[in-house]
């Protein structure tokens, strides 16, 4: 397929606001004859649902790649909460077809010299600011190709300093969906920013120190430890509360009392209160320490 004709500044009318204009951008143009195969593009942002930001991102994306199916993972991430968004990507994106493209825009450093990452992994292809959003993805999947997105040819011709989600992330994702290789988006990247997340500690035999990785909307505490890392007969100590053993599901517990069980996210252990909120019940939040020991049989 022949490369698309370049778009010049005269085609887009330079912005009266002084936005930069890329005179060779194809980020506003669908390549001729490139209908593309059906693909999924997911969106995860902190844009909220009360403004037009999400709609603007979708408008650019679908204008360039009308064949894609856009899935909203979440748009109510707490503003600027990179850690929260990183967990949501880890929780949800591995369930999608591996040819899916996942766009994440929780970007408090927008307009600065922070980098933009495009990475192809065994879980899918991701486009995100290089601020740690992809920490759990990169730590748990196999990276196949990763670049710093620097090639403005695949951006919109006019780029706002404060809305890269619309002007860079969306067109980049669209062109990936249209068959553009990750390698064409920029230069190879080998040192992505990774969040400093606590790892399980094993200070003694049959003893584990875990931490709360995420608190979901139900108040369940998702720990940074998996079932196969637990002692045989686990006893959990969290904020002065003791939980003995593992339950299979919420209905096996007593309403209002803390229980532990193997959750639905990659076999991570969780703590919950049937018909209640575990975070409120014991005062735990993200980062809270949980001691797990083995109870003698």
Which pLDDT tens digit goes with each residue over 174-197?
999 999 999 999 999 999 999 999
Domains, the chain, in order of start with CATH, read 9-188 (3.40.50.10790), 201-294 (2.40.30.90)
Spatial contact of 105 and 169, defined as CB atoms under 8 Å apart:
yes
Q: What average pLDDT does the segment 38-57 reach? A: 96
241 has pLDDT over 60 = yes
What's the pLDDT score for residue 295? 87
pLDDT at 5: 40
Q: Hey, what are 284's tokens?
A: 């735990």
**Phi (first) and psi of residue 211, to 5 degrees:** -140, 155
What predicted TM-score, i.e. pTM, was given to this entire model? 0.86
Residues 6 or more apart whose Cβ sits within 8 Å of residue 198: 211, 224, 287
Helix (H) or strand (E) segment spanning residue 145: strand 143-149
* Residue 195 · residue 135 · CB < 8 Å: yes
pLDDT given for residue 253 in this prediction: 92
Task: Answer positive or negative: Cα dihedral of 176, 179, 185, 189.
Answer: positive
Provide the H-helix boundaries in the chain.
9-12, 53-64, 82-92, 135-140, 164, 170-177, 278-282
Residue 205 banded pLDDT, cuts 50, 70, 90: confident
């Amino acid at each position: 397929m022949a490369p698309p004709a370049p778009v010049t500044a005269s085609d887009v009318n330079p912005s009266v606001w002084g936005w930069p204009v890329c005179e060779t951008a194809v980020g506003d143009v669908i390549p001729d004859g490139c209908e593309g195969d059906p693909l999924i593009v997911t969106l995860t942002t902190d844009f909220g649902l009360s403004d037009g930001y999400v709609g603007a991102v979708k408008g650019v994306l679908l204008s360039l790649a009308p064949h894609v199916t856009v899935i909203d993972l979440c748009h109510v991430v707490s503003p600027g909460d990179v850690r929260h968004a990183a967990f949501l990507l880890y929780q949800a994106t591995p369930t999608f077809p591996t040819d899916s493209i996942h766009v994440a825009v929780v970007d408090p450093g927008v307009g600065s010299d922070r980098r933009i990452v495009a990475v192809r992994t065994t879980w899918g292809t991701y486009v995100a600011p290089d601020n740690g959003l992809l920490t759990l993805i990169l730590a748990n999947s196999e990276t196949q190709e990763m670049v710093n997105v620097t090639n403005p040819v695949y951006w919109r011709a006019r780029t706002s300093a404060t809305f890269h989600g619309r002007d860079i992330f969306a067109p980049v994702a669209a062109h990936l969906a249209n068959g553009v290789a990750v390698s064409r988006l920029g230069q190879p990247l080998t040192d992505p920013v990774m969040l400093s997340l606590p790892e399980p500690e094993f200070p003694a035999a049959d003893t584990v120190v875990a931490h709360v990785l995420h608190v979901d909307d139900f108040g369940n505490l998702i720990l940074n430890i998996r079932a196969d890392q637990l002692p045989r007969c686990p006893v959990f100590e969290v904020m002065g509360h003791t939980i003995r053993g593992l339950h299979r599901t919420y209905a096996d517990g007593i309403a209002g009392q803390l229980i532990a069980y193997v959750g639905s996210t990659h076999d991570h252990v969780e703590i919950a209160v049937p018909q209640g909120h575990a975070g409120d019940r014991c005062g735990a939040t993200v980062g809270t320490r949980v001691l797990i020991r083995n109870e003698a049989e």
